[in-house]
Amino acid sequence: MVRSLVLLAAFSLLIIPSVYGKELKLAVVPKFNSVFFDQSKAGCIDAAAQIKGVECIYRGPDISNVRMQDQVINQLIDEGIDGIAVAVTQSKYLVQNSLKRAKEAGIPIITYDSDIDASINEDPNSLRLAYIGTDNFELGKSLGEELKKLRPNGGTLIMQSGRPDSPNLNLRLMGVRSALSGKKYNEPPGELLNNDLGWTEVREPFFNFDQLAQSVNQMESVMKGKPVKADSFIAVGGWPQNDQALYRKMIAPYQAKINNNKVIIIITDTSSEQLTMLEDHLVHINIGQAPYEMGRQAILTLYKIVTDQKYDKTIYTPITFCTPENVDTCTKTKVSGL
């Protein structure tokens, strides 16, 4: 059904010829290759297949490393790419290097999933032409609001993030803190909770630097209650569950703590593997993004820019709320319009 809607919605693009008969090569560059970003690859390929004369080039580093991502972008520039959508790993480095070079070469740049941090570039619109992805602050708020439903009287919290300099993740941290504290913060990631409306963060967030084994080890320390103890855990990305076998092995000894709500676990993203773990009650809630739609809209937006059509400068993709009770239907959302 969803695939039919995509084909129908994209039909109008088929009648628009490529620019001056040129075959267009449009790139989607993830932070790194992963279960999450592989879904944006599928969206990229499907969208390009529906537009005559357009090819999706999906290329990213194997690990989260800004210099490796910068090298990928420079390679694409050297190959004569016609447009680039990038999930920004580290704003300052990319802006000073490959993204600056792409702009000077006249190659349109958009961002997806992770935007350019405005603090290092007064006007992000001067470099990138559009952002496609989650409203990260609202996603963070949703994570916090769902925790409040399960712990209405407050509690102790440990959060997990990827990198301390990731603008999208810092917005999520701030969203969680805003939901739990009721405060408005001047800038992300907000402030450590300290008995704010009954909520306290017992330590700074764990940063796993997109290392899956490390993320699982960090979460295990929360489940053990050592070296610090907390009754709630929020991961603002899907890292601990991106290796299903590793997660299952780690979490198995703590099933009783989950069943009895001794530790509330809320994790971002809703891959098929994550939903099987949710169905098995190995996590309380997963709040998902739409990486397939991000990749699809990235190609459609780049195509509109290159062919001088009107385009949306901001496209927020939907989020989904998944629990063991609605796991069979929670991700069945329609794609957004063209």
DSSP code per residue over 306-335:
HTT----SEEEPP-EEE-TTTTTTTT--PP
What does the pLDDT read at residue 14?
45
**How far is the C-alpha of 233 from the C-alpha of 263, rounded, in Å?**
7
What does the pLDDT read at residue 123?
61
Question: Which residues on adjacent β-strands are paired with residue 122?
Answer: none
Q: SS3 of 60, please?
A: coil
At 12, phi and psi to the nearest 5? -65, -30
pLDDT at 3 over 80: no
Domain 136-288 is found in CATH 3.40.50.2300: yes
What does the pLDDT read at residue 292?
96
- The mean pLDDT of 46-60, rounded to a whole number, is 97
pLDDT at 261 over 60: yes
Q: Decide whether 24-134+291-318 matches 136-288 in CATH topology.
A: yes
**Assigned token pair, 160:** 């997990």
Domain chopping of the chain, boundaries: 24-134+291-318, 136-288
**How far is the C-alpha of 177 from the C-alpha of 144, rounded, in Å?**
7
- The mean pLDDT of 132-152, rounded to a whole number, is 97
**How far is the C-alpha of 94 from the C-alpha of 101, rounded, in Å?**
10
pLDDT at 17 over 60: no
pLDDT at 165 over 70: yes
pLDDT at 191 over 90: yes
**Assigned token pair, 60:** 């990213």
Find the DSSP H helices in the chain. Answer: 2-14, 35-49, 66-78, 91-96, 98-104, 136-150, 167-181, 212-224, 244-251, 255-259, 272-279, 291-306
- Of the listed ranges 119-133, 134-148, 290-304, the least confidently predicted one is 119-133
Residue 241 buriedness (CB in 10 A; 0-12 / 13-18 / 19+): buried
267-276 pLDDT per residue, tens: 999 999 999 9
At 100, phi and psi to the nearest 5? -65, -40
pLDDT at 12 over 50: no
- The mean pLDDT of 276-302, rounded to a whole number, is 97
Q: SS3 of 107, please?
A: coil
**Pair type for strands 24-29 and 54-58:** parallel
pLDDT at 126 over 60: yes
**Assigned token pair, 10:** 């994209």
Which of the four CATH numbers 3.40.50.300, 3.90.420.10, 3.40.50.2300, 3.40.50.410 does domain 24-134+291-318 have? Answer: 3.40.50.2300
At 319, phi and psi to the nearest 5? -115, 155
**Assigned token pair, 55:** 């090819």
**How far is the C-alpha of 17 from the C-alpha of 7, rounded, in Å?**
17
**Assigned token pair, 142:** 């949703």
**How far is the C-alpha of 135 from the C-alpha of 317, rounded, in Å?**
8
- The mean pLDDT of 45-71, rounded to a whole number, is 96
- The mean pLDDT of 289-312, rounded to a whole number, is 97
Please calculate the CA angle 208-212-214 and round it to the nearest 5 degrees: 50
Asked if the peptide bond before residue 124 counts as cis, ω within 30 degrees of 0, the response is no
